[in-house]
A and B are shown apart, each in its own frame.
Chain A
Amino acid sequence: MVFNSLTFLVFFVVLLVLHHLPFLSWRAKKVNLLIASYLFYAAWNPPFILLLWASTIVDWFIARGIYAARDKTRAVRRSWLVISVAVNIGFIGFFKYGAFLLENWQALMSAFGIVYVPPQWNIVLPVGISFYTFVTMSYTLDVYLGRAKPIPSFLNYALFVTFFPHLVAGPIVRPTQLVPQFDEPKQASRSQLLWGLGLMILGLFEKVVIADGGLSSAADTVFAAEKPVGFWDAWLGTLAFSGQIFCDFAGYSTIAVGAALCLGFGLPDNFRMPYAAIGFSDFWRRWHISLSTWLRDYLYIPLGGNRGTEVRTYVNLMLTMLLGGLWHGARWTFVVWGGLHGHYLAVERWIRDRTGIAGDPVHWFNRLTLVLVTYVLVNITWVFFRAHSFEGASRILAGMVGLAPDAEPVLPTIYMIKVAVLVTGIVATHWWMRDRELERVVSRAPWWITGLAAAAMLFAVIVTQGSGTAFIYFQF
């Protein structure tokens, strides 16, 4: 089920009551949470829960196998790890990349003049598979790398994998962040509950009001255009998508954090005002933090990170970002998106190495200029992320650089006004909040200002009446 649905509202209220019943044991409450999490997942497509169970069980046994072999050779432990990676990547490969691989195989064959007709590939992508497989893999990898012991309790482990707030779209939690929280009875304090509900309102506002209600129509209109797109339309459509994807995904993460907090658990931040980033290493410390740190810890560093030669460092960086792009979906446009970010990171690294510049500029104007330059370059990558083909991406990019001066307008004025207002608001908020924490800002603000803001957001959510649109990142 999606967070922005009436089904979730009923589900969450029932779960909150069950979790705060005074006479239930901690073990019974954890069983409740586990069953609720499976229900949460099965409410989309019940059969796919088998995959979730398979992924959970495989990594449970493999992690124990790796730990039991800790005194044996590295090859033995590595063979256990290979099984885990093969099973998890196999699941993702089959369900997510099967059709993509067949299409590319067909294209490769036809390049050699061989006619190959692939079979029909009507496989439905299990929601959130890329997220929960990364969660289970992080557990096995942590045990393999000696960062953690196997979890003694299967219940704690299964709950760590399946805990519904993070299950289908992150944050991609690490065992060390969440599992210890299951050791002792957890019940939200009144402050945690109220602040958790506040975060859920904020997340719903971002998703329902800004992403779906405010920006999606402009982005959809521009990216669905089949004719050349003019300068303003191309830029406003792309800017709309930049706001939409942020509010959609950050909204989800904020609701997830809030929902967990209402139950007494802490989940890590997944976003920190990314559109106020200065440069791309800063951007990736602020955007989808749990994925970027996952890729850093389990891919970039094992590849050698920056410990080898300079060339090797750049190769590692590019490989990590290309695979990070492909993680998002089975399309070459996602690979280009990752590749562009890899290039940005490489160029930034090269400039910093050559000039010796470290840290951010002191003067605010210089910082703001770099923020805006970074944001513009990020928007160019979003074109490849949003477009479904290179042809579509080229059409938008041509418009953005003024190569389609005679293109007919596609965006109605009212959409343009909405994009201008909302995107300016988002970027301005990121700039103002760049070095601030939300909790600190709320602590310092007069309480009634916070109340007015929360009431306005909740009221807007109610009168927007979201239609329960799925979150964009579910498809990844």
Chain B
Amino acid sequence: MGNSGHWTEDVTVREIPRTRLIAISWLVFALVLTGVVAWEWKMRSLGLVAGDLDDSKAQWAVERRKIAAGEFDDVVLVGSSRILFDTNLDVFQEVTGRRPIQLALAGTNPRPILTDFANDPAFKSLVIVDVTPDIYFGDWLGIPEFSGVIHYWRDQSPSERFGNEVGVVLSRRLAFLDGDYTLPKLIDQLDVPNRGDIVRPYLSVWKVWETNEDRQTFLWSGIEQNERLRQHARTVWGPFDGAPMDPKAIDRAIQESVEAVKKIRAHGGEVVFIRPPSAGLYYEHEQRAAPRRKTWDRLLRETGAFGIHFEDYPDMQGLDVPEWSHLSRESAKAFTRAYAGVLMKEVPRLRDPDPGKS
């Protein structure tokens, strides 16, 4: 009996294989290193770049915590992918002198986030809300990747926070670390004949964006440069076929917005709505599904908020919308310059050097 004081000692002793473990280790090291270098080269040749940090709930949480800590310039962007891709944070800062916090999420309805700010009495800032009609005026909350994001930034475990930091460090150096180019996604996206009318993974959204520091997001260059990828993206937006949206859902969206705007103003904050450009069939479908008169115009009238619709400003038209829903990188700069300029004229608090104290 050892010091442990056990009468019956069935101590686990693991057998080690009798083989050339050191030679195996060197072989594994050499093959994996070669494989990773080759994979990295292949991914770069497909247009992936180091420094694309891959958007995620964890990245969103980093930005959201800046607001909670008061470490921001009084401007917050919420919305779906359009305001996310179509806003150049540097240009916005250049025009307004303020760097906004980017809280828009691709494929996600911004209303719950707007309501969350409305329910926070400490929130006294300017919120710029992206109105992508088929998302904003519907009941759909968004893609599962970002579900629960409102609570996640508070509930995120220390382990997840640290893991995200390490992931960012690696992503700054390695292009292949991209959630849209993982092995399972590449397999799922094989173009094999499908059964029935099921939406096959081939027709899911492929890589559309690139995210840098501060969640500065652009339409991925691959979409701009590669005709096949651009056509694929257009095909994927196809299911938004222009069927009229449920009027009751539109009523709910507007009522929710009215309440949110009222509460945010009561705290000393402000809300501005923005309708970024779309084009082609997507734009035509939006016109049928959510006509401006029944949605956008009502939203501004009933909330009493200021809004920027791209159709109303000549310098926001004729921009490059490669896959009909998001601006190219250069056009995003032009669009940001244009709408930030309008905001500077129309929203007095942006000209106020310290709006929190005025």
Contact = CB atoms under 8 A, between A and B. Distances in A.
Contacts of B13: 266
A149 B12 contact: no
Given A445-B19, A459-B36, A194 B24 contact: yes
B233 to A, nearest CB: 19
B159 A2 contact: yes
Contact of B184 (A214, A261, A452): A214
A437 to B, nearest CB: 7
B2 A180 contact: yes
A413 B195 contact: yes
A46 B170 CA distance: 27
16 contacts: A8-B159, A42-B158, A151-B4, A180-B6, A180-B9, A195-B16, A212-B184, A266-B14, A412-B195, A413-B195, A443-B17, A451-B24, A451-B31, A454-B24, A463-B182, A468-B163
Contacts of B297: none
A447 B182 contact: no
Contacts of A460: 183
B12 A267 contact: yes
Given A194-B22, A412-B201, A451-B31, A6 B5 contact: no
A40 to B, nearest CB: 9
A476 interface: no
Contacts of B195: 409, 411-413, 416
Interface of B: 2-25, 27-28, 31-32, 35-36, 39, 157-160, 162-163, 166-167, 170, 176-179, 182-184, 187-188, 190, 192-202
B198 A179 contact: no
Nearest to B196: A409
Given A175-B4, A459-B36, 14 more contacts: A5-B159, A5-B160, A6-B166, A43-B162, A150-B5, A174-B10, A176-B6, A212-B184, A409-B196, A413-B193, A448-B23, A455-B28, A463-B183, A468-B163
Contact of B163 (A7, A189, A437, A448): A7
Most chain A CB within a 10 A radius of its CB, from B6, B9, B157, B201? B6
A275 to B, nearest CB: 22
Nearest to B177: A465
Contact of B187 (A42, A46, A418): A418
Contacts of A152: 3-5
Contacts of B27: 447-448, 451-452, 455
A409 B6 contact: no
B4 A180 contact: yes
Interface residues of A, number: 87
Nearest to B182: A465
Contacts of B24: 194, 198, 447-448, 450-451, 454
Interface string A190-222: 111011011001000000010011100100000
Contact of A451 (B18, B28, B190, B201): B28
Contacts of A452: 27, 31
A323 to B, nearest CB: 25
Contacts of A176: 6, 8-11
Contacts of A183: 2-4
B198 A442 contact: no
A64 to B, nearest CB: 11
A379 interface: no
A178 B12 contact: yes
Given A148-B5, A468-B160, A213 B183 contact: yes
Interface in A147-185: 147-153, 156, 173-184
A300 B229 CA distance: 61
Contacts of B20: 447
Contacts of A455: 27-28, 31-32, 35
A191 B177 CA distance: 32
A43 B182 contact: no
A181 B9 CA distance: 10
Contact of A7 (B162, B190, B198): B162
Contacts of A412: 194-195, 198-201
B184 A6 contact: no
Contacts of A451: 23-25, 27-28, 31
Contacts of A177: 10-12
B28 A454 contact: yes
Contacts of A194: 21-22, 24-25
Contacts of A174: 10
Interface in A417-463: 417-418, 437-440, 442-443, 445, 447-448, 450-452, 454-455, 458-460, 462-463
A442 B19 contact: yes
A6 B188 contact: no
Contacts of B3: 152-153, 183
Contact of A414 (B167, B196, B201): B201
A460 B183 CA distance: 8
Contacts of B31: 451-452, 455, 459
A10 interface: yes
Contacts of A240: none
Nearest to B1: A149
A149 B7 contact: yes
A265 to B, nearest CB: 8
Contact of B198 (A198, A201, A411, A443): A411
A409 B198 contact: yes
A366 interface: no
Contact of B188 (A408, A409, A414): A414
A455 to B, nearest CB: 4
A410 B198 contact: yes
Contact of B200 (A5, A180, A414): A414
Nearest to A9: B166
A408 B200 CA distance: 14
B6 A148 contact: yes
A65 interface: no
B19 A179 contact: no
